[in-house]
């Protein structure tokens, strides 16, 4: 090659590198513009700037706590395992073997359940959904709110050494799962406490236009642990692909802090759920039809039918407990719709409160079961004198991420312990 050719090639090299650099700069600028656009979108829709990871966790505090902050590959769905009677329990199998939550011999939280009734301690089972599970405690070495309150302020009956509280609740659970827990394990406990109402109220709402659900409609975890129930393996494959990307997204700080990536992940999840429901609706038989009521029923007929079913499960749980020698007390859990002046922080996370009238009506109806000798109490006013932030999202209570301390759970424990003392004639041993 002559000198002129070499000079010509040398002149081309910088121009090629400039073009590459310019293209990279344009790509980065376009990405920044897209990110800025989605950041503005969320700012306008939420009224504040929120970190995407905070937004992800704010959807459901229970689900966020079940994942591992130290292991991004461990997500809530990695812990969920099918159960033949309870829809789902949990496992600490890989990739979730080194997490802070504590699982027992049943795949629930806390200490192992006993196999027979013993006379050394007064044993109580808490049942209900995610609020009850967090009240009972998910994690190792964190406060056991009701157990601590009872042992601090009350003497166990029949000369027992102490109170022991067992966690028989889980996220997404509702009646009849409390009744089923009582049927399966009531004989090993002296007392049963249910903390419920929020998940059950959804079965009293008409959310769909073409069909109506009966009270026993299973939670979304049913599809999560039984993907074939959707009638297709596409949700399983789509979910696997989405979860693989989600693992990359969760473990990469740059992606995790992106509002644009959050939007696309959230949209993909919504599209997958939509496809699952659409496919199930095309089947002759699925849980859309198995757990449906006649389409000719009016909204009021659906409401009254499901409310009757709810009352039935209170009666059945009470009868099952009594038949097994256990005392049972039902508590309607507090809700942001009533009984507390919400802080600005709470107003930003509690979401839609339009169910207020329904929740109050449901509570009033269930309290009438006292006339049948069933111990039912409302905790709707338990936060009436609390000016601090209690709610971390639409229903769960805030807990300190380091210590697990929770003003909401402490106050609920105090209120429940006082009611149990009345019902079970416990002697008080403290002055507060």
Which CATH number characterizes residue 89's domain? 3.40.50.1110
406 shares a domain with 301: yes
**pLDDT greater than 60 at residue 7:** no
166 shares a domain with 304: yes
pLDDT at 420: 98
266 shares a domain with 176: no
Q: Is 186 inside a domain boundary?
A: yes
In the listed set 259, 282, 305, which residue is the last one of a domain according to the structure?
282
**pLDDT greater than 50 at residue 208:** no
Q: Is 104 inside a domain boundary?
A: yes
305 shares a domain with 169: yes
299 shares a domain with 249: no
Q: At 82, is the pLDDT very low, low, confident or very high (cuts 50, 70, 90)?
A: very high
- The 3-class secondary structure across the chain, one letter per residue, is CCHHHHHHHHHHHHHHHHHHHHHHHHHHHHHHHHHHHHHHHHHHHHCCCCCHHHHHHHCCHHHHHHCCCCCCCCCHHHHEEEECCCEEEECCCCCCCCCCECECCCCCECCCCCCCCCCCCEEEEEEECHHHHHHHCCECCCCCHHHHHHHHHEECHHHCCCEEEEEEECCCCCCCHHHHHHHHHHHHCCEEEEEECHHHHHHHCCCCCCCCECCCCCCCHHHHHCHHHHCCCHHHHHHHHHHHHHHHHHHCHHHHCCHHHHHHHHHHHHHHHHHHHHHHHCCCCCHHHHCECCCCCCHHHHHHHHHHHHHHHHHHHHHHHHHCCCEEEEEECCCCCCCCCCCHHHHCCCCCCCCHHHHHHHHHHHHHHHHHCCCEEECCCCCCCCCCCCECCCCCECCCCCCCCCHHHHHHHHHHHHHHHHHHCCEECCCC
Q: Is 184 inside a domain boundary?
A: yes
- Residues 122-150, mean pLDDT to the nearest whole number: 96
300 shares a domain with 400: yes
Q: At 250, is the pLDDT very low, low, confident or very high (cuts 50, 70, 90)?
A: low
Q: What is the pTM of this model?
A: 0.84
Q: At 369, is the pLDDT very low, low, confident or very high (cuts 50, 70, 90)?
A: very high
Q: At 209, is the pLDDT very low, low, confident or very high (cuts 50, 70, 90)?
A: very low
Structural domains counted in the chain:
2
Q: Are the beta carbons of 196 and 128 closer than 8 angstroms?
A: yes
pLDDT at 226: 81
> Model confidence over 288-345: pLDDT tens digits?
888 888 888 888 888 899 999 999 999 999 999 999 999 999 999 999 999 999 999 9
- Residues 394-408, mean pLDDT to the nearest whole number: 94
Q: Is 58 inside a domain boundary?
A: no
Q: Is 68 inside a domain boundary?
A: no
Q: Is 417 inside a domain boundary?
A: yes
264 shares a domain with 201: no
Q: Is 226 inside a domain boundary?
A: no
308 shares a domain with 390: yes
- Residues 53-80, mean pLDDT to the nearest whole number: 68
In the listed set 282, 310, 345, which residue is the last one of a domain according to the structure?
282
Domain range for 263: 232-282
pLDDT at 63: 73
> Model confidence over 101-132: pLDDT tens digits?
889 999 999 999 999 999 899 999 999 999 99
- Residues 53-76, mean pLDDT to the nearest whole number: 65
423 shares a domain with 314: yes
314 shares a domain with 395: yes
338 shares a domain with 404: yes
- Residues 272-281, mean pLDDT to the nearest whole number: 72
- Residues 156-184, mean pLDDT to the nearest whole number: 96
311 shares a domain with 166: yes
pLDDT at 331: 98
Residues pairing with 28 in the sheet: none
Q: Is 15 inside a domain boundary?
A: no
- Residues 177-206, mean pLDDT to the nearest whole number: 94
In the listed set 282, 313, 346, which residue is the last one of a domain according to the structure?
282
Give the pair of three-digit tokens for residue 106: 């049943």
**CA-derived radius of gyration, the chain:** 26
């Amino acid at each position: 090659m002559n000198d002129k050719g070499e000079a010509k090639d040398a002149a081309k090299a910088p121009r090629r590198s400039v073009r590459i650099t310019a293209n990279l700069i344009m790509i980065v600028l376009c990405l920044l513009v897209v990110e800025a656009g989605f950041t503005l979108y969320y700012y306008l829709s939420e009224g504040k700037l929120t970190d995407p990871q905070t937004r992800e966790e704010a959807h459901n505090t229970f689900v966020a706590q079940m994942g591992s902050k130290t292991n991004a590959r461990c997500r809530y769905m990695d812990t969920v395992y099918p159960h033949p009677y309870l829809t789902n329990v949990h496992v600490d199998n890989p990739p979730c073997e080194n997490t802070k939550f504590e699982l027992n011999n049943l795949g629930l939280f806390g200490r192992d359940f006993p196999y027979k009734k013993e006379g050394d301690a007064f044993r109580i089972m808490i049942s209900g959904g995610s609020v009850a599970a967090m009240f009972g405690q998910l994690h190792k070495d964190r406060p056991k709110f009701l157990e601590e309150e009872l042992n601090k302020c009350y003497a166990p009956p029949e000369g027992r050494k102490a109170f022991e509280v067992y966690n028989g609740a889980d996220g997404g659970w509702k009646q009849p799962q409390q009744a089923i827990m009582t049927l399966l394990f009531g004989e090993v406990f002296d007392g049963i406490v249910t903390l419920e109402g929020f998940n059950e109220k959804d079965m009293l709402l008409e959310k769909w236009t073409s069909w109506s659900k009966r009270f026993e409609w299973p939670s979304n975890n049913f599809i999560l642990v039984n993907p074939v129930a959707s009638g297709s393996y596409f949700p399983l494959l789509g979910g696997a692909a989405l979860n693989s990307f989600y693992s990359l997204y969760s473990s990469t700080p740059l992606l995790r802090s992106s509002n644009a990536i959050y939007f696309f992940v959230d949209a993909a999840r919504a599209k997958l759920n939509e496809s699952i429901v659409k496919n199930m609706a095309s089947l002759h038989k699925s849980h859309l039809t198995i757990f449906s009521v006649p389409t000719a029923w009016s909204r009021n007929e659906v409401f009254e039918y499901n409310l009757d079913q709810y009352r039935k499960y209170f009666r059945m749980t009470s009868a099952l407990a009594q038949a097994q020698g256990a005392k049972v007390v039902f508590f309607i859990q507090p809700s942001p719709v009533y009984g507390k002046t919400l802080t600005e922080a709470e107003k930003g996370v509690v979401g839609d409160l339009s169910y207020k009238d329904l929740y109050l009506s449901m509570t009033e109806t269930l309290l009438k079961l006292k006339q049948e000798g069933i111990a039912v109490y409302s905790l709707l006013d338990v936060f009436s004198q609390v000016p601090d932030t209690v709610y971390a999202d639409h229903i769960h209570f805030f807990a300190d991420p380091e210590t697990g301390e929770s003003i909401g759970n402490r106050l609920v424990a105090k209120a429940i312990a006082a009611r149990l003392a009345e019902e079970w004639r416990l002697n008080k041993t403290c002055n507060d």
